[in-house]
Structure formats: structure tokens, C-alpha cells
């Protein structure tokens, strides 16, 4: 059990007696880290959660923001790390299913999925098996429900060999007036709709709130199987019920099972509830304990006025969704569960729903100070060899092998799909010229070296990616993944990541409206995997006809660099791939420069000056320019002496530094003067560093000296072929 002796004593105090087995299981599920946030809640209050357009903030299954007058986006990020470590296919698939139902609970139609996957070294056989299963499980589930995966992130590192991080997100759209905003009242019925309840996933929430055993083999029973066909039927049925206002409230039956869904709702609205468990539709004979805490997937709790029950049952039947009335809400403030006339649980709803905060001490580990020491005396290496190593890195190389497993249906409204832009862009609807941009980002190396800077830079990169396609960032959700909160040195990483997210989001003026926390991400020896701050952002696109993509568009264009490059090689892909080092000072986060340079990019895109845009991040300026050339199949020549810089004394600093707040922009030759005038007006540092060519090569010079002249075709083979070679 994950309950501590102190918590068991507290349960006895609350009940004034010994708990029944059913009550103990309910407390174990609800007081787990996964459901209660007992270790993280005090820190999460640091996040800026309010702002213009925020309709629903933290507290519901998913948040909602108004992106245009009357138009809302509901989006959520979720982790399924532990389940995916023991059953990669079903673990990833059910993670997608759960996050879709979170978005559905507010009445939004799911329109897009994102997968942020932090996987092991593909040269390791088990890590490779996990990666294949995770990618296939997430993709198959999205395909099965007809929702495409349009964006995300992927990272490969030996730290994740046995414990990958599987963060998934869903985005939904609806009219503001369609948001499910009703309140349960005494007498309202509790209807469970969806799959019959079985023994799958029993106490999965507490399983996710402790370290895995060696290779997780004994935990496979905690991972329920996925059923996308039922999920698709649920989506259609629930949308009809919410659009016609036949239900007052909707909640996913996820972590913690039926007991958690009911008690959280009762507690939120100052109510109690009575359950008649024998009424629950099940796969076979189950005990009351199993009915209460089973985490069978594809189930939702509907709150229904008794007078509308017949209509609700009719809608569910028409969509072939099984359902049962299992109880009702009342004014008692207690959750009472009966089974065939026997009272099996009687607990105060508020005290079960909300475990008190646990104060966790934190302190930086000794390796933190060692890792951030300045880098000195790096040997100079061939620019050609370095660029080839970076472009063929699975962290930088094309993720086509991953996203092509998702079916992008005709008519899905995708304007910019995966691999084409720094973020995906979706049209609001047929005939509507507006849209939204979505992206997910993280950098596990940064956050493992310096969790504050690393998390802040993850927020900044997500912000830049949204800006780079022509959107105005509206809101973020976050997913800090860390180790054992009972270990002060591991909990310190979580604390600093949250503080870094809060600081940067506040500096950018973009709220963090919701998210998820994942702890106990450690291997069987108790070692923390690389702590990772996943950020998912949504932006508003005024005109989907004027979005920017990464690929160079024409020969003879000017190539501009926006922002000043500093000698910031610490924590970079260059340092890791060329020297095998993961150390040094992580690039400094710069919110003021992010804001200034993003305003410049937004204006270039809005006024049609920019032909293509790419933010500078992993791999530095050289990787960004090479990607633009490879994707556009157009050559480019760059002179490093023209790159705006401060303090750089070597070519590798100019080419591979990951200094933040920078972009590369392609501009028609005849509009360069206009682009430079706009930069002067806005105070942005902008320089023409080169041009696109018909030569079919990527050429890098320092004045008259050639540093690199590489065939575009060879770079394309490296970039597009690296991942399949490692994983297929």
C-alpha cells in the first residue's frame, strides 16, 4: 500500500473507527500523489493561472480558454509514465483515451492530439521495444477514435530506458455557451456510461504513486486494456447530451475509479452521495471494493436530473453506450456506498477528496554544482562532422516515423501538420479563416542540469514555436515529471521546475491554466530519470492563410537571424553529441527578449514579409538553417561573421550555441529593407546572414574561408533516415 502509517492513523481519526477494506482502498486511491497532489499543491499555487480569456482554470478535468469572441479551446496534458513502462501499447493508448475524456467532460469536441515522448536509448533492446509499443499504442488509439496527432515532442536518452515518460495532450473546440457549467444538486442521479467495469487497473493511481519494481513486470495488472471503439461512441453520445443540455455535469472515471469521480464532485459542490453498487454494469461478478476503485477505461460519470433520465438513456442507447444508474447526490456531505443492502463505505466526502498538504523538504544535490561549472578548453572540431552528428541525433532528426503512424483524415482542418511548422495549425471550421496553433515542448537535458533554467526555457521554446507559425500565445498547460518526492534531492528538481515555469510564464504574460504532475519516475534502484518539464501551448491564429512554416520557399531569398548569439554551449545537443558531455551552464532564459523578438516575428508574418520562420533551439543556428534547407529542398549559404553575437570567439559558439529568443527568417530579397526598418522600429536585433541558392548545398563560411559545404541530399538522408534506422 502507498498509505503511510501516519495516513492510516489519520483515516482512523476521521472515521472514529477502523476503516473497512473498501474505505481503505478508496483512501489509498484518493490520497495517492496521482489524485491528491499532496506533495505538489503548495508549489503549484505559484503558477500564474488567471488572465484574459481564461474561462475554466485549474480544478476541473480540463481548463478552457476563449481564443476568439465566443470560441473556446479546451486542452489538457496527462502522463501515463508508469503504465507505459510495463505495458507500452496499452499504457500509451489509455493515456490518450483518458486525456480525450478530460476534454470531453467540458463539452468540447476533441480535434487534435499531441504526444510528448521521452524514450530510452534506441540501441537498448528493451528501450527500443518500449518505444515501438508506445508510439503504436498512442497512434492506434488516436486513429481508432478519428482524432489525429498533429504535434508533440520526442527525446531519446538512456535515462529513460526502463522508465519512459509518456505525456499526451488533447485539444478540443466548442462555442463558449456550450461549455458544461452546470452544478449537481441533491436528488440528481449518478449515471456511469461506457465500458462495463472489470478488474483492470485496480488501484492504478496508487501504482503510479510509487517507484516501479525491477522492469515493472509484476505490475502489468495495473494497466487496463484500451477500447477506442467504445471511446468513439462515448464521444458522440456525450457531445449530443451536452449540446442538448440533457446532463448537468460530466466527469471522466479515470484515476481512482468510480469512488474518486463521485467524491471529488460531491466535495467540489458541498454535497454527499449514495451509491448502490449492485446496479453498476460489470464484466462479471465483482466485489464492492473492485467496483469502487477499478480503473476500467472508457467510462464517464454523468450527473442527470431525474426528470431527464429517460431522454439520457435514449441517447446512450442510440449510440450503443452501456450505462447504469448507480446512485444520487444528497445533502449529507458523506459518501455512502451500499452493496445488496449492506453499507460497505461511509466517509465524509470532503476529507476523502482532499488529502492535506505534505511538506516535503528539498535541497540541491551535490551533482548540481558540479554540472553547471563553466566549460573551458573545448577542442575545436570539424563543423561538418558536428553538423552531421547533430542532424542525425534522434533528438533533432525528423520524427516522421512517429507522426506518420497517425492517420490525418481528410477534412480534419489541419492547416500546418506535423513536421512542417514549429507548431501545428488547425482551422476553426469550414469556411472560417481563423485557427489555433498547438505545440508541446521539453528539454530533459536542460532540466536535469539546471531545473529552473531548463523549465523556464521549455516555456520559452513553446512560446516561440507558437509565434513562429503566426499565432498569438494564449495559454499553457504543464506536466512536471520528477522523481521520488520523499527524497529531498529529487524533490528539489520538481520544486525548481515549477518555479522556473511560473517565472517564465509570468514574464511572458501567458497563464498556466492547468496541467498534471507525475512523480516517482525512478528506476528500480531508486535513481531519478531525467526530470522533465513538459509544456503544451495554444495560440490564436487570426488568418490561417498567413501562417509560416519551416521550409525555405524560393531561391535567392535573404536569410535573417533575429536575436543576439552568446557563447552558450552548456547543455547543448552539440556538447552531448560531439563530446559526450551533459554539463555546463544551461542558456540563460530571457523573457524580455522573447517578447521583443516575438513581436517582430508576428509583424513579419502578419504583413506577409516572412516566407519561412524557424526558431533556434536544439542544435543551434546551424541545425535550424539546415532543417529549413532540407525541408524546402533549397540550398543556402551563410556567413558566420555576419551573425549578431556578443562574446563568441569560435565558430562552434556561433553555429551551435542554443541561446534563447532567436529565430531564422527567410525574406524575399526585395523586402529586406522593409524587414530591417521594422526591426529598427521595434528594437529587435536583426541581421542578414546569407541567402538561399540553387546550388543544392548547405554552405557555411567565415568571410572567405569555407567551414562547411555539404550536399543537401546527404543532409536530408541523415535527417530523415536516422530514426527509422534506430527503431525499425
Q: What is the pLDDT of residues 468-515, one digit of tens each?
A: 999 999 999 999 999 999 999 999 999 999 999 999 999 999 999 999
- Distance in angstroms (rounded) separating the CA atoms of residues 344 and 363: 43
Catalytic residue among 80, 82, 281, 319: 80
Residue 207 has pLDDT above 80, yes or no: no
> Taking 60 as the threshold, does the pLDDT of residue 221 lie above it?
no
Question: Where do runs of H (alpha helix) occur along 450-590?
Answer: 451-468, 488-508, 573-579
Can you name the residues that pair with 476 across neighbouring β-strands?
Answer: 512, 537
Q: pLDDT digit string (tens) for 346-381?
A: 999 999 998 889 999 999 998 887 777 778 789 989
Share of the chain above pLDDT 90, in %: 91
Q: Express each pLDDT in 604-632 by its tens digit.
A: 999 999 999 999 999 999 999 999 999 99
Question: Could you give the C-alpha distances from 331 to 186, 247, 272, 325, in angstroms and in order?
Answer: 6, 20, 5, 19
- Beta strand 512-515 with 472-481 is parallel
Residue among 471, 618, 610 at smallest CA distance from 551: 610
SS3 label, residue 192: strand
Mean pLDDT of 379-402: 96
Active site residue 34: yes
Percent helix, percent strand, percent coil in the chain, to nearest 5: 40, 25, 35
Is 627 inside any structural domain? yes
Separation of alpha carbons 578 and 580, rounded Å: 6
What is the pTM for the complete model shown?
0.96
Q: Give one DSSP letter per residue of 594-623, joined into a string.
A: HHHHHHHHHHHHHTT--SEEEE--TTHHHH
Domain for residue 66, yes or no? no
What is the pLDDT at residue 573? 98
Q: What is the mean pLDDT of residues 646-667?
A: 97
Domain that holds residue 592: 548-728
Residues 6+ apart with CB under 8 A from 174: 72, 74, 106, 107, 108, 109
Sign of CA dihedral 595, 596, 599, 600: negative
Q: Is 614 a catalytic residue?
A: no
Residue 715 lies in a domain: yes
With a pLDDT cut of 70, the percent of the chain lying above it is 97
- Average pLDDT of span 207-225: 59
Confidence of residue 154 (pLDDT cuts 50, 70, 90): very high
Q: Answer whether residue 325 shows pLDDT above 50.
A: yes
Q: Are 122 and 162 in contact (CB under 8 A)?
A: no
Is 39 in a helix, a strand, or coil? coil
Lowest mean pLDDT, pick from 64-73, 402-411, 590-599: 402-411
pLDDT at 215: 47
* 1 pLDDT above the threshold of 80: no
Question: In the predicted model, what is the mean pLDDT of the chain?
Answer: 95
In a domain, 646, yes or no: yes
What total of structural domains would you count in the chain? Answer: 1
Supply φ then ψ for residue 11, to 5 degrees.
-65, -45
Q: What pLDDT sits at residue 283? A: 94
pLDDT digits (tens, 9 = 90+) for 90-122: 999 999 999 999 999 999 999 999 999 999 999
pLDDT of residue 495: 98
**Cα–Cα distance between 570 and 584 in angstroms, integer?**
4
Decide if 575 is inside a domain.
yes
In degrees and rounded to multiples of 5, residue 225 shows phi and psi of: -75, 160
Lowest mean pLDDT among 151-165, 200-214, 442-456: 200-214
Q: Give pLDDT tens digits for 548-585.
A: 999 999 999 999 999 999 999 999 999 999 999 999 99
Residue with cell 471522466: 252
Quick check: is 92 in a domain?
no
Helix axes 228-243, 125-145, angle to 10 degrees: 40
* CATH code, domain carrying 722: 3.90.650.10
Quick one: average pLDDT of 224-228? 91
**Residue 525 pLDDT:** 85
- The catalytic position among 34, 281, 319, 377 is 34
Domain-embedded: residue 348: no
Amino acid at each position: 500500500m502507498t498509505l503511510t502509517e501516519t495516513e492510516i492513523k489519520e483515516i482512523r481519526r476521521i472515521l472514529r473507527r477502523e476503516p473497512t477494506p473498501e474505505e481503505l482502498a478508496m483512501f489509498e486511491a484518493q490520497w495517492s500523489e496521482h489524485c491528491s497532489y499532496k506533495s505538489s499543491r503548495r508549489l503549484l499555487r505559484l503558477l500564474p493561472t488567471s488572465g484574459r480569456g481564461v474561462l475554466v482554470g485549474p480544478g476541473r478535468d480540463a481548463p478552457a480558454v476563449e481564443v476568439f469572441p465566443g470560441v473556446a479551446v479546451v486542452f489538457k496534458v496527462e502522463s501515463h509514465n508508469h503504465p507505459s513502462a510495463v505495458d507500452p501499447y496499452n499504457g500509451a493508448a489509455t493515456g490518450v483515451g483518458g486525456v480525450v475524456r478530460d476534454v470531453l467532460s467540458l463539452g468540447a469536441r476533441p480535434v487534435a492530439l499531441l504526444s510528448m515522448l521521452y524514450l530510452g536509448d534506441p540501441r537498448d533492446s528493451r528501450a527500443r521495444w518500449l518505444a515501438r509499443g508506445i508510439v503504436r499504442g498512442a497512434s492506434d488509439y488516436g486513429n481508432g477514435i478519428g482524432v489525429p496527432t498533429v504535434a508533440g515532442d520526442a527525446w531519446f536518452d538512456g535515462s529513460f530506458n526502463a522508465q519512459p515518460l509518456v505525456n499526451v495532450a488533447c485539444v478540443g473546440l466548442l462555442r463558449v455557451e456550450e461549455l458544461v457549467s452546470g452544478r449537481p444538486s441533491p436528488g440528481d442521479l449518478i449515471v456511469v456510461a461506457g465500458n462495463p467495469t472489470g478488474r483492470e487497473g485496480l488501484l492504478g493511481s496508487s501504482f503510479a504513486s510509487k517507484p516501479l519494481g525491477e522492469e515493472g513486470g509484476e505490475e502489468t495488472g495495473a494497466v487496463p486494456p484500451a477500447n477506442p471503439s467504445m471511446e468513439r461512441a462515448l464521444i458522440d453520445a456525450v457531445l449530443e447530451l451536452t449540446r442538448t443540455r440533457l446532463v448537468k455535469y460530466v466527469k471522466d472515471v479515470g484515476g481512482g475509479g468510480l469512488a474518486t469521480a463521485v467524491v471529488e464532485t460531491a466535495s467540489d459542490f458541498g454535497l454527499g452521495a449514495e451509491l448502490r453498487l449492485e446496479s453498476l454494469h460489470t464484466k462479471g461478478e465483482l466485489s464492492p471494493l473492485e467496483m469502487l476503485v477499478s480503473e476500467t477505461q472508457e467510462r464517464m460519470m454523468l450527473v442527470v436530473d431525474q426528470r431527464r433520465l429517460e431522454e439520457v438513456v435514449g441517447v446512450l442507447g442510440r449510440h450503443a453506450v452501456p450505462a447504469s444508474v448507480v446512485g444520487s447526490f444528497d445533502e449529507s456531505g458523506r459518501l455512502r456506498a451500499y452493496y445488496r443492502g449492506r453499507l460497505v463505505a461511509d466517509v465524509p466526502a470532503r476529507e476523502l477528496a482532499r488529502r492535506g498538504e505534505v511538506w516535503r523538504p528539498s535541497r540541491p544535490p551535490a551533482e548540481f554544482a558540479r554540472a553547471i561549472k563553466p566549460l573551458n578548453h573545448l577542442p575545436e572540431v570539424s563543423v561538418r562532422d558536428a553538423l552531421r552528428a547533430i542532424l542525425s541525433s534522434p533528438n533533432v532528426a525528423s520524427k516522421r516515423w512517429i507522426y506518420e503512424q497517425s492517420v490525418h483524415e481528410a477534412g480534419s482542418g489541419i492547416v500546418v501538420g506535423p513536421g512542417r511548422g514549429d507548431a501545428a495549425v488547425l482551422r476553426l471550421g469550414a469556411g472560417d479563416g481563423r485557427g489555433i496553433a498547438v505545440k508541446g515542448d521539453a528539454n530533459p537535458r536542460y532540466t536535469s542540469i539546471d531545473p529552473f533554467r531548463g523549465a523556464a526555457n521549455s516555456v520559452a521554446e513553446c512560446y516561440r514555436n507558437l509565434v513562429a507559425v503566426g499565432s498569438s500565445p494564449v495559454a499553457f498547460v504543464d506536466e512536471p515529471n520528477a522523481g521520488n518526492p520523499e527524497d529531498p534531492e529529487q524533490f528539489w528538481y520538481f520544486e525548481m521546475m515549477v518555479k522556473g515555469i511560473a517565472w517564465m510564464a509570468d514574464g511572458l504574460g501567458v497563464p498556466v491554466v492547468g496541467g498534471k504532475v507525475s512523480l516517482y519516475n525512478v528506476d528500480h534502484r531508486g535513481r531519478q530519470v531525467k526530470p522533465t518539464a513538459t509544456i503544451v501551448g495554444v495560440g490564436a491564429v487570426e488568418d490561417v492563410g498567413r501562417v509560416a512554416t519551416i521550409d525555405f520557399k524560393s531561391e535567392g531569398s535573404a536569410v535573417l537571424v533575429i536575436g543576439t548569439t552568446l557563447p552558450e554551449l552548456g547543455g547543448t545537443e552539440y556538447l552531448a553529441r560531439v563530446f559526450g558531455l551533459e554539463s555546463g551552464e544551461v542558456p540563460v532564459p530571457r523573457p524580455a527578449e522573447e517578447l521583443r523578438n516575438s513581436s517582430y516575428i508576428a509583424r513579419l508574418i502578419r504583413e506577409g514579409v516572412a516566407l519561412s520562420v524557424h526558431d533556434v533551439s536544439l542544435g543551434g543556428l546551424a541545425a535550424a538553417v539546415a532543417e529549413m534547407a532540407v525541408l524546402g529542398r533549397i540550398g543556402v549559404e551563410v556567413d558566420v561573421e555576419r551573425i549578431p553575437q556578443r562574446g563568441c570567439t569560435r565558430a562552434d559558439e556561433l553555429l551551435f550555441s542554443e541561446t534563447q529568443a532567436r529565430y531564422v527568417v527567410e525574406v524575399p530579397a526585395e523586402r529586406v529593407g522593409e524587414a530591417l526598418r521594422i526591426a529598427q522600429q521595434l528594437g529587435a536585433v536583426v541581421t542578414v546572414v546569407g541567402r538561399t541558392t540553387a546550388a543544392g548545398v548547405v554552405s557555411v563560411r567565415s568571410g572567405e574561408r569555407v567551414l562547411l559545404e555539404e550536399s543537401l541530399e546527404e543532409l536530408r538522408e541523415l535527417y530523415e533516415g536516422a530514426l527509422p534506422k534506430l527503431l525499425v
